[in-house]
């Protein structure tokens, strides 16, 4: 286990041609204060837990002091935003410090909110405490839920004022991921007609992330296939857990199929297929139930960007499998949530269940957690579930079909309940929980709420006796929380 000044970074991204990035330097963050240090993520890169006590921890973790070997750079990318191509985006406020060997893989360390870069487009390069804390908590919540995601190592705050709709204060998250390459990282070179750069990036990604395809006769096609598979897998997880990303532009789509760039995300409370978490998304382009299709559209943009490297028909074929892959993953995940073996025919149970939840305004996660204790006896009323429905008979009708499905796969009731509890979380990061943590830090300089939430969210399937309040439906005030893109 090492200390911060013993971490030694390399910078493999700098092996790409200089067009792919710009060297940058973090801007000094005044009065930097460590708000949280994620011991679990630290372990992945061999950092010891006691780094919270390190006198310069905040300085290192916000970029005021550079970790040994750091070569900060901002990566170039473009992307389709809300359906339209935007020719130059790039890391406008993120800085890749370098990469470090972990126990199983190399991790790239990236500051978010550390000041302007050549891609900042007249913005300040900063991130506000509110959005930084939300990203910090949610990336760890997703990891706890078993959803592929970038990770967060630390959160550093500062009294530095940042102007958004109102004046807020700045923060820096140190993110970790095996890669931050996006669909848009390829798009930029395709649209500029720079096919050598396109190929260089594809080779880089294959070498470092998909080495199994390096010697394939069709490495670029295999890479596209792999990305489509991972994306299908990710969408299945989002839909199963009730997560809405909010800004599924191609520049926020990870080539590793990770949840990337947390903005106005939201978890479903009541089951609402058309839920739009981003109030700037007036057309509902990124509504909850649109996500799998949007990811498919985004994959088509990626395939187009890779077209100079791949036969067009082959690329089309590679994407044809995407909807089926998504559906299979999704049904598998949902079947487990219902306590059933993975089978296509379970769709006949899942879709009516979702429809009934929607019509009855039932809380999605709470329902599934309570379903773990479903009693399949013919005369059982299952009151804790039944009472969640405005129309009790609608639940009764669904329960009959559910009982019949369970009867086909007899299993000890406690064994089934245990398996279901391992896939139906008790704790999800509802907006109001994040909001409470933001208010505690902002108004009372109290970081205890972050620690409590991280503990629950890292183990969301456990009971955590005494913490029931954190598993509850949102209070009345939380229904009026508005989330904009501004961050
Ligand atoms: P996002 O919506 O956070 O994914 O950001 C979209 C693009 O805007 C990316 O290129 C970001 O780097 C850039 N961006 C967002 N906020 C800022 C900011 N405060 N300063 C500079 N660039 C920003
Ligand atoms: Mg982004």
Tell me if residue 289 is catalytic.
Answer: no
Ligand 2 centroid, distance to 321 Cα (angstroms): 27
DSSP 13-39: GGGS-GGGEEE--PPP-TT-EEEEE-H
Cα(414) to centroid of ligand 2, in Å?
44
The domain locations on the chain are 4-183, 338-421
- Of all ligands present, the nearest one to the C-alpha of 112 is 1
Helix, strand, coil % over all residues of the chain, rounded to 5: 45, 15, 40
Q: Find residue 314's DSSP bridge partners.
A: none
99, 251, 281, 363: the active-site residue: 251
Q: Can you give the pTM of this predicted structure?
A: 0.98
Q: What is the SS3 assignment for 236?
A: helix
pLDDT tens sequence across 185-224: 999 999 999 999 999 999 999 999 999 999 999 999 999 9
- Record the tokens describing residue 452, joined without a space: 């409590």
In the reported structure, the alpha carbon of residue 469 is separated from the centroid of ligand 2 by a whole-number distance in angstroms of 33
Which of 94, 123, 180, 250 has most ligand 1 atoms within 8 Å of its beta carbon, as the pocket-test mutant? 123
Q: Residue 89 CA: which ligand 1 atom is closest?
A: 10
What is the tens place of the pLDDT at every residue in 46-90?
A: 999 999 999 999 999 999 999 999 999 999 999 999 999 999 899
Token pair for 295:
């990811």
Point out the ligand nearest to the CA of residue 487. 1
- Any idea what the Cα angle at residue 207 is, between residues 202 and 213, rounded to 5°? 85
Each residue of 155-185: pLDDT tens digit? 999 999 999 999 999 999 999 999 999 999 9
Predicted pLDDT of residue 64? 98
Cα–ligand 1 centroid distance for 129 (angstroms): 15
Residue 483 predicted with pLDDT over 80: no
CA-nearest residue, atom 8 of ligand 1: 92
d(CA 286, CA 276): 7
Tell me the pLDDT tens digit for each residue of 431-449: 999 999 999 999 999 999 9
Which of 93, 111, 173, 185 for a ligand 1 pocket mutation test, highest count of atoms within 8 Å of Cβ?
Answer: 93
Write the CB contacts of 200 (distance below 8 Å, at least 6 apart in sequence): 16, 17, 20
**413-421 and 322-337 are packed helices; what angle lies between their axes, rounded to 10 degrees?**
130
């Amino acid at each position: 286990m090492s200390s911060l000044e013993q971490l030694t970074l390399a910078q493999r991204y700098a092996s790409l041609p200089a067009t792919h990035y710009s060297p940058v330097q973090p801007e000094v963050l005044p009065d930097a204060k460590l708000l949280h240090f994620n011991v679990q993520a630290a372990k992945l890169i061999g950092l010891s837990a006691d780094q919270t006590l390190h006198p310069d921890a905040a300085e290192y973790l916000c970029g005021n002091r550079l970790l040994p070997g750091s070569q900060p750079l901002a990566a170039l990318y473009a992307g389709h935003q809300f359906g339209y191509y935007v020719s130059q985006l790039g890391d406008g406020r993120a800085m890749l410090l370098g990469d470090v060997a972990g126990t199983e893989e190399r991790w790239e360390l990236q500051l978010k909110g550390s000041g302007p870069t050549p891609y900042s487009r007249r913005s300040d390069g900063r991130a506000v405490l509110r959005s930084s804390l939300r990203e910090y908590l949610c990336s760890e919540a997703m990891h706890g839920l078993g959803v592929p995601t970038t990770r967060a190592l630390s959160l550093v705050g500062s009294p530095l004022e940042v102007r958004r709709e109102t004046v807020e204060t700045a923060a820096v998250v140190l993110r970790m991921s095996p890669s931050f390459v996006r669909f848009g990282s390829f798009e930029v070179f395709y649209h500029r007609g720079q096919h050598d750069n396109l190929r260089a990036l594809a080779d880089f990604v294959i070498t470092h992330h998909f080495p199994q395809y390096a010697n394939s006769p069709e490495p670029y096609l295999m890479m596209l296939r792999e990305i489509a598979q991972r994306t299908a897998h990710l969408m299945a997880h989002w839909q199963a857990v009730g997560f809405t990303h909010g800004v599924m532009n191609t520049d926020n789509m990870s080539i590793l199929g990770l949840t990337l760039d947390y903005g106005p995300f939201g978890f479903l409370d009541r089951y609402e297929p058309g839920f739009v978490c981003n109030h700037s998304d007036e057309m509902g382009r990124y509504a909850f139930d649109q996500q799998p299709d949007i990811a498919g559209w985004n994959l088509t943009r990626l395939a187009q960007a890779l077209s100079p490297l791949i036969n067009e028909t082959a690329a089309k074929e590679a994407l044809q499998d995407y909807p089926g892959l998504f559906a299979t993953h999704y049904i598998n995940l949902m079947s487990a949530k219902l306590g059933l073996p993975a089978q296509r025919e379970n769709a006949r149970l899942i879709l009516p269940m979702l429809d009934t939840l929607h019509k009855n305004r039932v809380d999605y996660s709470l329902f599934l957690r309570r379903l773990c204790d479903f009693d399949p006896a013919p005369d059982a009323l299952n009151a804790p579930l039944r009472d969640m429905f405005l129309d009790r008979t609608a639940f009764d009708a669904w329960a009959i079909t559910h009982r019949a499905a369970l009867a086909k796969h007899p299993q000890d009731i406690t064994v089934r309940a245990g398996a279901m509890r391992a896939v139906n979380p008790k704790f999800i990061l509802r907006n109001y929980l994040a909001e409470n943590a933001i208010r505690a830090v902002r108004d009372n300089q109290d970081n205890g709420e972050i620690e409590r939430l991280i503990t629950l969210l890292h183990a969301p399937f456990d009971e955590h006796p005494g913490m029931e309040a954190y598993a509850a439906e949102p209070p009345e005030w939380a229904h009026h929380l508005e989330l904009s893109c501004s961050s």
